[in-house]
Amino acid sequence: MNATVKATDIDQAFDNGEDVSEYFDMEHPVRMEAVRTRKVNLTLPEWLIERLDSEAKTLAVSRNAVVNVWLADRARDEDRQRNTELVNSGSN
């Protein structure tokens, strides 16, 4: 197994139909905890839906995946900002 291989090289090899299993540790798989989800409906302006669809097409993912990533990024940013404000207000 080559420890210095880039993900883009593995992607390219996979896209070319090559066997890429040598790059993965099948004896010690990483198990991810299932994330509970709930379905919601959103009413969004058309321009935003078009922007989401454009991003989804660029990334070759679903609109739902883009919404999930964008919302998660924003939530993390808000958490960081809030934590920074709490730390700064405690030093006064």
CB atoms within 10 A of CB 66: 19
Please enumerate in sequence order all residues whose Cβ is within 8 A of that of 4, keeping only pairs 6 or more positions apart, or say none: none
Query: Which residues of the chain does CATH 1.10.1220.10 include?
Result: 33-92
Q: Which top CATH class is 33-92?
A: mainly alpha
> Residue 23 corresponds to which tokens in the numbers above?
């790059």
pTM assigned to the model: 0.59
Task: Report the Cα 46 to chain-centroid distance in Å.
Answer: 24
Per-residue pLDDT tens listing for the chain (92 residues): 446 889 999 999 999 999 999 998 889 888 888 889 999 999 999 999 999 999 999 999 999 999 999 999 999 999 999 988 888 887 65
Check: CB of residue 65 under 8 Å from CB of residue 56: yes
